[in-house]
Amino acid sequence: MFRLCSVPIVFVLCVLFCQQALADTSTAETGQVKAQLIASVDAVHPGDEILVGVNQRIIPHWHTYWINPGDSGLPTTIAYQLPAGATAGEIQWPTPEVITLGPVTNYGYENEVTLLSALKVPGDSVIGGVFPIKAQVKWLVCEEVCIPQKVELELVLPVVSLGVDTGKDSPLIKTARAALPVSSPWPIRLAHNEQALVLSITDTELPFVAISKARFYPAKWGQIQHSAEQPWQISGNTLALKLRAGDKPLALGENLTGVLTVTENSSGKRVTRGFSVNIAGSALAASGVTLPSEQPDLVLASALLLAFLGGVILNLMPCVFPILSIKALSLIKHAHQSPVQTRLQGLAYTLGILASFTLLGGVLIALRAGGVQIGWGFQFQSPLFVLAVAYLIFAVGLSLSGVFTIGGSVAGIGSSLAGRSGYSGSFFTGVLATIVATPCTAPFMGAALGFALTQPPVVLLAVFFCLGLGLALPYLLLSFWPFLQRSLPKPGAWMDKLKQGLAFPMYGAAVWLVWVLAQQAGINAVAVALGGMVVIAFAAWLYEFSKYTGKTAQRSGSGAAGLALALALIGGYFGVATAVPAAICLNSESATNYEPYSAARLSELRSAGKPVFINLTAAWCISCLVNEKVALSQRSVIDTFKSVGITYLKGDWTNRDAEITKILAEFGRSGVPLYVFYPAGAENSTHPVVLPQLLTPEIVTQAVRGKV
Amino acid sequence: MFLHRLFQIALVGFAFASTTVYAESVVDKAAPLFSATAADGTTVKLADLHGKTVVLEWTNHECPFVVKHYESGNIPNLQKDAVAKGIVWLQVISSAPDKQGHVSGETAQKLNAHRGATPTNTLFDDDGKIGKLYGATNTPQFFIIDPQGVLVYKGGIDSIPSADQSDIGKAENYVSAALADLAAGRKVAKSNTKPYGCSVKYAS
């Protein structure tokens, strides 16, 4: 029969016929799986390299396994029996899926999968003869219960002369090839220690990809913990995926193998691509003993609690406290209000805060989706935002001083922006409190926000919501609890004096912001900002003054004031936007016993085994500046650094800096301050120590000495 | 200072939260304590077994991998040898009610008699708490605890993951090797191996 096939025309018919005749042996069916042995060609030439594969169609809800089945299960095996001289390669595993059953995580395939292998036809195959391929296939198929199964499949291909077409890839083979992981278009990097592994890819195009999920599938048991969450985040051009080490952690120099999948939302559809990984890693700096590496694993409940506590503490921040005080004063003044009205005021204030935090969270999500490097306090990296807040705080100060009042009544506490009567006033007080609170990264918020930034939008918003709730809590309690209201002092003239007194912290805050601006945008921006403040003060005065004149004068007065205000804002915008950013000039404010931070310098020092102290700071971060003042620039600390031989690296995050964002991320932080001490000794043998976010000279010297 | 203190308290809370979430058996660390109802109606407490070597064997008589090692006599032989040497061998069944492998105490005893299996006892872990405490994912899967209460082995039965009885002879039996190391006073050479088998049929 096959001799006839050597005639090409007959051959086509014959192949059709032969395939038909052999269909029975090339497929097999169990109760759960229909298996078929397929080949990329209909006939072979001597010496060809072809693809063969076993296609499994699996009934719904059941699955077979990947090369690493995960926490349980068994990979499918194929034993090819081939004519002498022929060889079959390893199975080319398609990108698997995660299948979970309670705490058990498996990797495998549902519905359909084709396991391809390359097959080499010996060069001495006889043309006109046949090339039989036999495969013994064993698999474990599971739903909840598991059944081991075994089938024998056979496919016989004619051997034809070189000129004869052997046919095209079958659709099954094409689909199977498309499902294989490919080599990554981006370099993949790995850093790891005994507890954790961080896989990262960097590419300038990455921020433009709408990535909705990333996951790593280890090819070997033990390298990672299968059931652990794999938190990931994109900062700048880098996508980082964190894995928890498994029962057999990777040794240094040992390769991590497997598949990294990235799911992107492309025009409404989720497309997952698999990239093969086979790389050795470098040592991961953060040890599992220090807390930051634990923080990304921070359970949601803890994050929400911390965010809430952080919010409560924000009330004590120098710029927030006056605003809260004003609200409290207004409560005293409005003691005649019914409890219901008071409560509604409290609710409006809370609503203002929550709305602002939701908005901020939304902006963060949008920026993150756009791939911008962000961390908490990100808004303060924009000079324009700093200027706007400086103006706002200055205006609030003027209002507290009584230079102008918004609203008709001269008398009464409703004489400032924050004190505007009515529910909208309360709402905007909440907004104001949020805006001025943002630069103060209270210790609690670092962890909670670092966690939030790596999470899906819903979780991020939940964390922000709790933060807002915390910020709103004191006033909310006050407005809901008549007992607390009664314990407030009686209203009187002292309230006006206090109000005026509270203007000064606001002026102070404005001065600080102008100083931040100077760091970011240079000395000219300061002139613009200060000029703008004079114009604002003038506008305020004009507005207030014209209020007591006739209708026409009042209107023209308001108009002139509005014009002046617009002038300040527009002038500020152009003045600052065009200002040349000054070179980082933090150098001038304390003893210059440090070098600027760079990743290259750090790794140089570390590979030399030298002790390094890192301080990551920003001009707009109050706690950073306080720590530098009370601890890091103290004589005892400077002397200790010197005697221990520490190189002190300082990273300034005032303006965005990708390198610093990166090291912050390595320690699970999304904002400054961060203090890390790397003890002397070989890079692999020592673990960095993370210091608390509130420093004293003793904390620093003990940390540094304790480890040396 | 107040902030600092609060911060510390929060961190402690943190550490606690993470350990409870990821509580797991770690080789060379104290084995997590538990108490469970046994097939003979008694309550077995790990703490009471101090001074004895304890083998925990996660099992599910309907799982083909368990069947492989019972029908071949592999596990029953291990049990017989171990129990003869004074080792406490406890089967643990973490199958939730109405899941595969869930049995009554009486059935468990009958099954063992039928299979020629002679473990010291069979423990029921219907709610999966012990299984999750130990991070048991497979049947069969083994944990060996030394007389001091330290976990010295966790992993599979042998080196060839398959459902074929014919592979047993070719495979390296990790459990008997670990027990031999322990008896000889050596450190267990392969103390953390890859388990293979069916998933443990937890309720969730």
Total of domains in chain B: 1
Q: Who's near A187: CB < 8 A, 6+ residues apart?
A: A201, A202
Q: Which residue has the higher pLDDT, A278 or A452?
A: A278
The answer to whether the A183-284 and A586-706 domains have the same CATH topology is no
Q: What is the mean pLDDT of residues A173-199?
A: 85
Q: What is the mean pLDDT of residues A384-402?
A: 81
- Closest alpha carbon to A470 in A706, A304, A255, A689: A304
Residues of B in contact with A305 (CB under 8 A): 10, 13
CB-based contact A437:A322 (threshold 8 Å): no
Q: What is the mean pLDDT of residues A669-683?
A: 82
Q: Is the pLDDT of residue A680 over 60?
A: yes
Q: Is the pLDDT of residue A704 over 80?
A: yes
Q: Is the pLDDT of residue B57 over 90?
A: yes
Chains A and B: how many Cβ contacts under 8 Å? 114
Q: Who's near A33: CB < 8 A, 6+ residues apart?
A: A56, A57, A58, A59, A62, A64, A139, A141, A149
A12 — pLDDT class (breaks 50, 70, 90): very low
Best probe of the B interface among A63, A77, A140, by most B CBs < 10 A, is A140
CB-based contact A676:A704 (threshold 8 Å): no
Regarding an ipTM greater than 0.85, the answer is no
CB-based contact A118:A124 (threshold 8 Å): no
What whole-number distance in Å separates Cα of residue A439 and Cα of residue A377? 5
- Within a 10 A sphere around the Cβ of A573, how many other Cβ atoms? 15
Q: Which range (A247-256, A640-649, A677-686, B49-58) has the least confidence?
A: A677-686
Q: Is the pLDDT of residue A1 over 60?
A: no
Q: What is the pLDDT of residues A32-71, one digit of tens each?
A: 999 999 999 999 999 999 999 999 999 999 999 999 999 9
User: Which of B3, B100, B163 is opposite residue A140, by nearest beta carbon?
Assistant: B163
Q: How far is CA A198 from CA A216, A260, A286, A456, in A?
A: 10, 12, 10, 19
CA torsion sign for A220, A223, A229, A233 is negative
Shortest alpha-carbon distance between residue B196 and chain A (Å): 5
Asked if residue B3 is part of any domain, the answer here is no
What whole-number distance in Å separates Cα of residue A249 and Cα of residue A194? 6
Alpha helix ranges (H) inside A80-221: 171-178
What whole-number distance in Å separates Cα of residue A568 and Cα of residue A563? 9
- Closest alpha carbon to B154 in B167, B168, B140, B166: B140
Hey, are the CB atoms on A71 and B199 less than 8 Å from each other?
Answer: yes
Hey, are the CB atoms on A247 and B192 less than 8 Å from each other?
Answer: yes
Q: How far is CA B88 from CA A71, A326, B52, B91, B190, in A?
A: 26, 72, 7, 10, 21
- pLDDT, position A275: 87
What whole-number distance in Å separates Cα of residue A451 and Cα of residue A302? 10
User: CB-side exposure of A16: number of CA atoms within 13 Å?
Assistant: 5
Q: Does B201 touch chain A (CB under 8 A)?
A: yes
Residues of B in contact with A71 (CB under 8 A): 137-138, 199
Asked if residue B13 is part of any domain, the answer here is no
**CATH number for the domain whose boundaries are A586-706:** 3.40.30.10
Asked if residue B17 is part of any domain, the answer here is no
Q: Does B32 touch chain A (CB under 8 A)?
A: no
What whole-number distance in Å separates Cα of residue A30 and Cα of residue A27? 10
A256 — pLDDT class (breaks 50, 70, 90): very high
Q: Which range (A575-584, B145-154, B193-202) has the least confidence?
A: A575-584
Domain span holding position B84 = 25-199
Q: Within its chain, how far is the Cα of A180 from the centroid?
A: 28
User: What amino acid occupies position B176?
Assistant: S
What does the DSSP 8-state code read for residue B150?
Answer: B
Q: List, in sequence order, every beta strand (DSSP E) within A281-395.
A: 282-283
Q: Within its chain, how far is the Cα of A9 from the centroid?
A: 62
- The position carrying tokens 């710029």 is A319
Q: Who's near A623: CB < 8 A, 6+ residues apart?
A: A440, A441, A442, A443, A673, A693, A694
- Within a 10 A sphere around the Cβ of A584, how many other Cβ atoms? 16
Q: Name the residue of chain A whose CA is nearest to B61's CA.
A: A145
Q: Is the pLDDT of residue A451 over 70?
A: no
Per the omega criterion (within 30 degrees of 0), is the bond before A673 cis? yes
Q: What is the mean pLDDT of residues B29-53?
A: 94
Q: Is A140 helix (H, G, I), strand (E, B) or coil?
A: strand
Residues of A in contact with B69 (CB under 8 A): none
- pLDDT, position A299: 62
Q: What is the DSSP string of A64-118?
A: EEEEEEESSB-B-EEEEE--TT-EE---BPPP-EEEEETTEEEEEEESEEEEEEE
What whole-number distance in Å separates Cα of residue B78 and Cα of residue B87? 11
What whole-number distance in Å separates Cα of residue A591 and Cα of residue A699? 20
Q: Does B202 touch chain A (CB under 8 A)?
A: yes
Hey, are the CB atoms on A106 and B199 less than 8 Å from each other?
Answer: yes
- pLDDT, position A325: 75
Q: What is the pLDDT of residues A278-336, one digit of tens each?
A: 988 877 764 332 223 333 445 677 778 877 887 887 777 666 777 777 777 777 766 66
Q: Is the pLDDT of residue A583 over 70?
A: no
- The position carrying tokens 């004003």 is A326
Q: Within its chain, how far is the Cα of A177 from the centroid?
A: 33
CA torsion sign for A389, A393, A394, A395 is positive
Q: What is the CATH number of the domain that holds B148?
A: 3.40.30.10
- pLDDT, position B101: 94
- The position carrying tokens 């963060």 is A364
pLDDT > 70: percent of chain A: 77
User: Which of B4, B13, B164 is opposite residue A302, by nearest beta carbon?
Assistant: B13
Q: What is the mean pLDDT of residues A677-695?
A: 79
What whole-number distance in Å separates Cα of residue A135 and Cα of residue A117? 11
Q: Which residue has the higher pLDDT, A382 or B181?
A: B181
What whole-number distance in Å separates Cα of residue A190 and Cα of residue A195? 14
Q: Is the pLDDT of residue B116 over 60?
A: yes
Q: Which residue has the higher pLDDT, B167 or B9?
A: B167
What is the homologous superfamily of the domain A2-180 according to CATH? Thiol:disulfide interchange protein DsbD, N-terminal domain (2.60.40.1250)
Q: Which range (A24-28, A397-401, B23-27) has the least confidence?
A: B23-27
For A183-284, give the CATH class: mainly beta
Q: Which range (A68-82, A639-653, B104-118, B179-193) has the least confidence?
A: A639-653
- pLDDT, position A368: 66
- pLDDT, position A595: 87
- pLDDT, position A363: 79
What whole-number distance in Å separates Cα of residue B112 and Cα of residue B61? 9
Residues of B in contact with A291 (CB under 8 A): 11, 14-15
Q: Is the pLDDT of residue A133 over 90?
A: yes
CB-based contact A62:A179 (threshold 8 Å): no
The string over A194-211, giving b where at least 16 C-beta atoms fall within 10 Å of a residue's C-beta and e elsewhere, is ebbbbbbbbeeebbeeeb
Q: Is A292 helix (H, G, I), strand (E, B) or coil?
A: helix
Q: How far is CA A170 from CA A42, A176, A255, A324, A672, in A?
A: 9, 10, 35, 72, 57
What whole-number distance in Å separates Cα of residue B4 and Cα of residue A700? 14
Q: Which residue has the higher pLDDT, A148 or A583?
A: A148
User: What amino acid occupies position B118?
Assistant: T
Q: Which range (A14-18, A171-175, B35-39, B113-117) has the least confidence?
A: A14-18
- pLDDT, position A620: 63
Phi, psi of A92 (to 5 degrees): -90, 105
- Within a 10 A sphere around the Cβ of A278, how many other Cβ atoms? 11
Using CB atoms and an 8 Å cut-off, which of residues 141-200 of chain B contact chain A?
A: 154-155, 161-164, 192, 194-200
A98 — pLDDT class (breaks 50, 70, 90): very high
Phi, psi of A237 (to 5 degrees): -95, 10
Give the domain ranges of chain A. 2-180, 183-284, 297-381+412-493, 586-706
- pLDDT, position A178: 83
Q: Which residue has the higher pLDDT, B2 or A616?
A: A616
Residues of B in contact with A440 (CB under 8 A): none
Q: Is the pLDDT of residue A461 over 90?
A: no
CB-based contact A119:A88 (threshold 8 Å): yes
Instruction: Give me A104's structure tokens.
Output: 């058990």
Q: How far is CA A328 from CA A332, A411, A413, in A?
A: 7, 17, 11
Q: Nearest 5°: CA angle at A374, between A371 and A379?
A: 125
Instruction: Give me A177's structure tokens.
Output: 């090839």
Instruction: Give me A201's structure tokens.
Output: 């890819």
Q: Which residues of A touch B (CB under 8 A)?
A: 69, 71-74, 101-104, 106, 138, 140, 142, 144-148, 221-222, 228, 247-248, 291, 294-295, 297-299, 301-302, 305-306, 309, 313, 442-444, 447, 692-694
- The position carrying tokens 């809901």 is A480
User: Which of A144, A228, A301 is opposite residue B100, by nearest beta carbon?
Assistant: A144
Q: Is the pLDDT of residue B145 over 60?
A: yes
Asked if residue B9 is part of any domain, the answer here is no
- pLDDT, position A22: 46
Q: What is the mean pLDDT of residues B60-79?
A: 95
Average pLDDT score, chain A: 78
Q: Is the pLDDT of residue A656 over 80?
A: no
A542 — pLDDT class (breaks 50, 70, 90): confident
Hey, are the CB atoms on A694 and B199 less than 8 Å from each other?
Answer: no
CB-based contact B55:B117 (threshold 8 Å): no
Q: How far is CA A441 from CA A157, A174, A438, A518, B158, in A?
A: 70, 54, 7, 21, 53
Q: What is the mean pLDDT of residues A460-486?
A: 82
Q: Which range (A212-226, A436-450, A565-579) has the least confidence?
A: A436-450
- pLDDT, position A440: 52
Hey, are the CB atoms on A71 and B137 less than 8 Å from each other?
Answer: yes
Q: Who's near A164: CB < 8 A, 6+ residues apart?
A: A8, A11, A43, A45
What does the DSSP 8-state code read for residue A60?
Answer: T
- pLDDT, position A268: 57
- pLDDT, position A339: 77
Q: What is the mean pLDDT of residues A99-128?
A: 92
Asked if residue B167 is part of any domain, the answer here is yes
What whole-number distance in Å separates Cα of residue A227 and Cα of residue A103? 7
Shortest alpha-carbon distance between residue B108 and chain A (Å): 19
- pLDDT, position B139: 94
Q: Is the pLDDT of residue A581 over 80?
A: no
Asked if residue B204 is part of any domain, the answer here is no
Q: List, in sequence order, every beta strand (DSSP E) within A636-688.
A: 647-652, 674-678
User: CB-side exposure of B134: number of CA atoms within 13 Å?
Assistant: 31
Q: Is the pLDDT of residue A377 over 70?
A: no
